[in-house]
């Protein structure tokens, strides 16, 4: 299902500034599209508008040419959402949570126990969700997003709070869903997740998209001009990244060379976070 977002704006009640400012992009069927930005950049706001949780104030959101304003109950049968902050019924077991939500759909759903097994929660199926750790709740919410065999999946920081092994398993599930033809909208501040999973990424900062391209294209554009310098000053050992085609960064590089003892210096491909810092002057965390 093709997704089109054009000139999207949103302002929360009582605020003087828009949280989302003239955001436009399109997502092809079967694409993993990443929203990369720090907390507060507007990522979740855009996702909430696209899923109908927030009212569309200004702009256009279309699915296969049909406005989200025209979507009825059938729309919610076609999407799955994994929220950044796990919202589960704490007095129900993990299995009961999935069974309850499965009953809300008008379409055939996955076997809850199969999904719990996929995310490593089979042994905790009969345990109250309120007793789950943060990572376990995150996995339960992720499993819930897969219940209705959705055509479009929205994942908001899906690997938050997960150990490396479990995170790797969740990434494999996301990749498999893409192979099955799902369209995936992934919001994250984790540059490694975006780089590894996304076909294209949009950098969002203060409610605006500042660049949009594939991770490879962004690194080809910016990554050949980065220098990593490791230095020593007294008992302090540090390292910095400089972009030699940026006047401010080049000046800082020369100042460092003059003022500190240099241990090593390497040219390197920039990471997405380093590119984000170059474009915005701020980090992703």
pLDDT of residue 156: 92
State the Cα–Cα distance between residues 200 and 194, nearest whole angstrom: 9
pLDDT tens digits, 40-77: 899 999 999 999 999 999 999 999 999 999 998 899 99
User: DSSP 3-state assignment of 69?
Assistant: helix
Bridge partners for 243 per DSSP: 226
Domain end (from 162, 183, 213): 213
Domain end (from 160, 187, 213): 213
pLDDT of residue 265: 87
269: pLDDT confidence band, cut at 50, 70 and 90? confident
Residue 224 predicted with pLDDT over 90: no
CATH of the domain at 137: 3.40.50.300
**Domain tally for the chain?**
2
Structure tokens at 194: 């975006």
Predicted model pTM: 0.83
Residue 86 and residue 195 in contact, taking contact as beta carbons nearer than 8 Å: no
Structure tokens at 129: 């969700």
234 and 207 within one domain? no
Structure tokens at 233: 């000053």
**Average pLDDT of the chain to the nearest whole number:** 92
pLDDT of residue 84: 86
State the Cα–Cα distance between residues 103 and 149, nearest whole angstrom: 14
263 and 231 within one domain? yes
244 and 186 within one domain? no
Residue 223 predicted with pLDDT over 70: no
Which of 47-56, 192-201, 210-219, 247-256 bottoms out in mean pLDDT, i.e. has the lowest?
A: 247-256
pLDDT of residue 3: 97
Provide the percentage of residues in the chain whose pLDDT is more than 90. Answer: 70
225 and 205 within one domain? no
Residue 212 and residue 25 in contact, taking contact as beta carbons nearer than 8 Å: yes
Tell whether 285 is covered by a domain.
Answer: no
- By residue range, what is the domain housing residue 13? 3-213
């Amino acid at each position: 299902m093709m997704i089109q977002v054009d000139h999207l704006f949103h302002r929360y009640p009582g605020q003087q500034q828009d949280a989302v400012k003239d955001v436009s992009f399109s997502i092809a069927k079967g694409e993993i599209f990443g929203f990369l930005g720090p907390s507060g950049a507007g990522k979740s706001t855009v996702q909430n508008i696209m899923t109908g949780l927030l009212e569309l104030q200004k702009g256009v959101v279309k699915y296969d040419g049909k406005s989200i304003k025209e979507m009825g109950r059938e729309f919610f049968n076609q999407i799955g959402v994994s929220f950044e902050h796990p919202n589960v019924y704490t007095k129900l077991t993990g299995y009961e949570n999935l069974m309850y939500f499965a009953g809300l759909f008008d379409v055939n759903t996955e076997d809850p126990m199969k999904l719990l097994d996929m995310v490593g929660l089979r042994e905790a199926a009969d345990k109250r969700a309120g007793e789950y750790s943060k990572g376990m709740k995150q996995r339960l919410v992720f499993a819930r997003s897969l219940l209705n065999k959705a055509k479009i999946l929205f994942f908001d920081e899906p690997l938050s709070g997960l150990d490396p092994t479990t995170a790797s398993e969740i990434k494999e599930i996301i990749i498999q869903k893409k192979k099955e033809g799902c369209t995936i909208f992934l919001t994250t501040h984790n540059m490694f997740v975006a780089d590894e999973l996304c076909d294209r990424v949009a950098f969002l900062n203060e409610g605006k998209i500042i660049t949009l391209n594939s991770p490879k294209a962004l690194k080809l554009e910016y990554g050949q001009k980065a220098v990593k310098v490791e230095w020593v000053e007294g008992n302090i050992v540090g390292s910095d990244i400089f972009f030699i085609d940026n006047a401010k960064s080049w000046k800082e590089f020369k100042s460092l060379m003059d003022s500190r003892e240099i241990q090593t210096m390497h040219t390197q491909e920039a990471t997405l976070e380093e590119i984000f810092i170059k474009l915005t002057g701020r980090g992703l965390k």
